Structures are given as structure tokens and as C-alpha cells.
Amino acid sequence: MDYDDEPREETQETSGDGNEAKLAMEEAARKKKEKVESEIAEYEEMRREQREKEADDLEQLRQKRESRKQERIEEDRRLLEVRKEEDKRRKAEEEERKRKKQEEERKRIEAKKIKLKEMEERKKMSKTPNFVITKKGASNLEEASKDMAKSKEQLEEEKRAILAQRIQPLSVDGLDLASLMEKATEFHNKIKNLANEKYELEERFKSQQYDMIDLAERARQMNKGKKRAVQVDDSFDPLAEKYTSAPPKVQMYSKYERHTDLRTYGTRVDYFETKAKKIEAELAIGKKDEDILLETMEQSEENPEAAPEPAPETEVAAEEE
């Protein structure tokens, strides 16, 4: 009986150890799961706070953009009204200046007419001949241009008037700090707008200058192409005149190259045509090609002057090309 009880006790101990290990593993898995869940919850909370913060920032940026847009619209409206007022005032001053100028011109013409009338009356009363010797018409034009030309004092006066119109007087007497800040802001905005307009004009000038250079270069290339036009050889060709259906003569080499054969073109044509006809006649009689070649070689040895000179290698290469 004692031997039977020992294995039963060992089996109970082994099962108890297995239960403890299982419980330990379950406890570790539970803790790990709780840890992961807590980390996920913290991450989700952090993301929620971050999204809220980003949404607040975007809302602030949107409000700032809207406010800047509204300010820009108000500023443009105010500048447009100021520009309209300046244009209206400038037009009024221009009309006033034109009216004064016309009045002065009218007075000057009337004074001139009165002087001419007085001079005519004095001439009538005088005993001198009643005629006036006039010079060329150009002198009258010069006098008219001198009358129409402005004096230096008039130009200076117009210059001072334009400067007084463009440069407005600045009065800061009796202004408090807020008014001075507002005036400084206004000047700052005006300088900024002028700088922007200057930049736009400079960019437009650069682009137009580039376009002008491009067009000038294109015109130069077109003129250069016209100068390099192909020159047609209009020299007289007797063969083309004689045989109207014949193709044009092909020039195998330039007329400025060195000529080794001093015979004329007609002489060479006659020679080779005669030789070709002779060979054709001999072939028609029944001679073989070898016999004809031997006879041609013998004739060349007997009369070397009549034989054509061998063409140099340079001319042969040029003809092959």
C-alpha cells in the first residue's frame, strides 16, 4: 500500500505546479492587455487634444485671413476714393491751367493785332513807300514758332505748379500720438504701394525688353537667310537650246577647280560619240570585243595626241562622289 500512495502524491504535486504556471501566465497576459489598453487610451487622448489644438489654430488662421482680406478690401476702397479725388482735383487744375493759358494767348493775340494796327496807321501817315518787303516763308514760320515757344519764366512757373500739385504740405501741428501713428501708417502703406507698382513696372520693362531682343534676333536670322539664298546659274546652255526635251546639264565639278583637259566640251563630245559609233559599227560587222580593244590600243600608241589624257585620281574621286 505504501508503494501505491507515492505515485499519487507526485501526480497531485505536478498538477498543482501546472495550475500555478497557468495562473501566472493568465495574470501576465491580463496585465499586458491592461497596459496596452491604457497606452491606447493615452494615445487616443493625446490625438484628441492635438486635433483640437490644430482645429483651434486653423480657426485662428482663418479668422486672421478673413480680417486681412477685409482690411485689404477697405484699404483698396479707400485708395480708390483717394485716387478718384486726386484725379478730379488734377483735372480741375488742368482745366483751370488750360483756361488761363487760352486767356493769356487771347490777350497776346489781341495785343499783337493792336500793335499791327498801330504800325499800319503809322505807315499810312508816313511818307515812305506803302509796301513791305517780306523774306522767305521760313522766316515767318520761325517767327510763329518763337511766338508759340514758352519763355524760361513760364516753364519755371509750370514746374513749380506741378511740384506743388504733387507734393502736398504736411501739417503735424496739434496732432496727438494716435493721429501721428495713423499718419505714419498711411505713409507706410503709400510707400509700399508705390514700391509694388515700381516692381511691376520693372518686371514689365524686363519682359518687353526680352521680347524686343528676341524679335530683333529673329529678324536678324531672317535677313541672314535671305542673304544665303541659292544662286541660280543662268548661263547659256547650247544643248538645252538645241534639244528642248533634253534634261539640264549636270556640272560634275566647280568651274573654279583646276582643268587638266584643255579640250572644249564640244570636242570631247564629238570624239567620244564618234568612237562609240565606230565601235557599234564594228560590232555590227561581227568583230569581237577583244579585237576592237587591241585596235584601239594600237591607234593610241601610234597617235598619242589624239588619245584622251587619263583623268587624275582626284577628278575620278570627285566624279564618283
CA gap 249, 238 in Å, rounded: 10
Of residues 38 and 175, more confidently modeled: 38
Residue 171's pLDDT is what?
Answer: 76
Looking at residue 201, what is its pLDDT? 93
Give the pLDDT confidence of 96-107 residue by residue, as tens digits. 999 999 999 999
Nearest to 271 by CA among 230, 305, 315: 305
Contact between 300 and 252 under an 8 Å Cβ cutoff? The reply is no
In angstroms, rounded to a whole number, what is the distance separating the alpha carbons of residues 136 and 155? 30
pLDDT beyond 50 at 316: no
Say what the pLDDT of residue 307 is. 45
- Range from 109-113, 122-126, 221-225, 268-272 carrying the lowest mean pLDDT: 122-126
Select the more confidently predicted residue: 250 or 41: 41
Q: In this structure, are residues 296 and 249 in contact, taking their beta carbons and an 8 Å threshold? A: no
pLDDT of residue 205: 93
Question: Ranked by mean pLDDT, which of 220-224, 239-243, 247-251 comes out on top?
Answer: 220-224
pLDDT for the residue numbered 16: 62
More confident residue, 254 or 302: 254
* Average confidence score pLDDT of the chain: 76
pLDDT-derived band at 253 (thresholds 50, 70, 90) equals: low
In this prediction, residue 203 carries a pLDDT of: 92
For 62-86, what is the mean pLDDT? 89
pLDDT for residue 124: 72
Judge whether residue 254 has pLDDT over 90: no
Q: Please give the Cα distance from 219 to 70 (Å, whole number).
A: 50
Q: Report how far residue 196's alpha carbon sits from residue 2's, in angstroms, rounded to the nearest whole number.
A: 110
* Res 320 pLDDT > 50: no
Q: How far apart are CA 227 and CA 35, in angstroms?
A: 90
Q: What is the pLDDT of residues 162-217, one digit of tens each?
A: 888 877 777 777 778 888 888 889 889 989 998 999 999 999 999 999 999 989 88
What percent of the chain is helix, strand and coil (3-state, nearest 5)?
Answer: 80, 0, 20
* Cα–Cα distance for residue pair 69/233, rounded to 1 Å: 74
Question: What does the pLDDT read at residue 295?
Answer: 66
